């Protein structure tokens, strides 16, 4: 089976797609070392075979979209650890190539989404769950631009602009997308009905409606209980396909650099997410292949809810 031939946005217009789960979680389960601030970027640099194996595990579980190991790869972070720009660019290219190889080996159509993590991710201090870094829109665009350009050079099907904590950073990334013409999904991390930085969701989601580059918008790396209210806000702000890939309800404690787990797993009312307009559904941190395998049969092939007027622009 080859990489999916249909443009990603066209596929979204036709049916729901199954996303993969947490890449870092799967790499940890495979025994990989994720310490040192580079997280999955460390494994990408040192054990690319393990990254490809993790992608293959998700494809084998039924994932139709594989997200690359580029989330925490930033030129500044790698430079601070002695890696030059050419080497970092090569790693960004490698991240797409590894997902591509796993997609080629899958027994079904698979798209590759190049992960564009937020500025806070490269700080490795949990800043993506707070936002408000003290940087302006131009500075944030300057940070994201070379990463996005390098990833695009490698030929992914779409960019996954994910775990964005506030509308300010989203605006900066959208500026870069407008410059490049690249197609992307835009995914915020949310809590309690607001962005992680405390901003109103309606304004954050409205940015997607105004951008022809955004093919889907929604939430990730949040408590499953926050998903449906956020999707309903998004549906009011945009007619574009929606997405949801929460974590297991755990919260990241930056001080201890550890996840704090819920007493009991939060339910995933996936049918309600689909009715709200979700067309991309999967998992984020601590959601592994087993959970994706359980999710996939109920998602694959689900047609759009035409009553919402859900549309997707061509790739």
What is the secondary structure of 242-284 as a DSSP string?
A: EEEE--SS-EEETTTTEEE--SSPPP--HHHHHHHTEEEE---
Q: Which of 124, 37, 44, 48 is nearest to 81 (CA)?
A: 37
Instruction: Write out pLDDT tens, residues 121-132.
Output: 988 888 888 898
Which tens digits make up the pLDDT trace of 99-148? 999 999 999 999 999 999 999 998 888 888 889 899 999 999 999 999 99
Does the global pTM surpass 0.85? yes
pLDDT tens figures, 27-45: 999 999 988 778 899 999 9
What is the per-residue pLDDT for 176?
Answer: 98
The per-residue pLDDT for range 214-246, each reduced to its tens digit, is 999 999 999 999 999 999 999 999 999 999 999
149-188 exposure pattern, b = at least 16 Cβ within 10 A, e = fewer: ebbbebebbbbbbbbbbbbbbbbbbbbbbeeeebbbbbbb
What b/e readout covers 108-146, taking b as 16+ CB neighbours within 10 angstroms? ebbbbbbbbbbbbbbbbeebbbebebeeeeeebbebbbb
Which tokens go with 159? 């960019």
The pLDDT mean for the chain works out to: 91
């Amino acid at each position: 089976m080859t990489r999916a031939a249909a443009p990603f946005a066209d596929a979204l217009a036709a049916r729901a797609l199954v996303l993969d789960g947490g890449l870092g979680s799967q790499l940890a389960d495979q025994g990989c070392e994720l310490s040192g601030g580079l997280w999955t970027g460390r494994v990408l640099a040192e054990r690319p075979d393990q990254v490809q194996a993790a992608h293959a595990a998700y494809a084998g579980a039924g994932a139709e979209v594989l997200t690359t190991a580029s989330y925490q790869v930033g030129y500044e972070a790698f430079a601070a650890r002695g890696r030059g720009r050419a080497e970092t660019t090569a790693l960004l290219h490698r991240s797409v190539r590894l997902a591509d190889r796993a997609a080629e080996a899958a027994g079904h159509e698979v798209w590759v989404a190049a992960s564009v993590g937020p500025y806070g991710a490269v700080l490795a201090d949990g800043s993506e769950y707070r936002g408000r870094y003290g940087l302006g829109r131009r500075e944030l665009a300057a940070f994201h631009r070379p990463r996005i350009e390098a990833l695009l050079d490698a030929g992914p099907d779409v960019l996954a602009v994910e775990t964005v904590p506030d509308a300010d950073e989203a605006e900066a990334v959208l500026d870069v997308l407008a410059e490049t013409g690249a197609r992307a999904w835009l995914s915020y991390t949310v809590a309690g009905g607001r962005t992680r930085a405390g901003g109103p969701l309606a304004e954050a989601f409205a940015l997607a409606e105004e951008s022809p580059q955004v093919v889907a918008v929604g939430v990730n790396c949040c408590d499953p209980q926050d998903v449906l209210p956020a999707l309903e806000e998004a549906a009011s702000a945009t007619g574009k396909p929606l997405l949801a890939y929460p974590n297991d309800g755990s919260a990241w404690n930056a001080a201890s650099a550890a996840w704090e787990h819920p007493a009991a797993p939060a339910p995933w009312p996936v049918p309600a997410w689909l009715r709200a307009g979700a067309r991309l559904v999967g998992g984020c941190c601590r959601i592994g292949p087993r959970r994706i395998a359980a999710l996939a049969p109920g998602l694959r092939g689900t047609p759009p809810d035409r009553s919402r007027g859900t549309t997707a622009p061509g790739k």
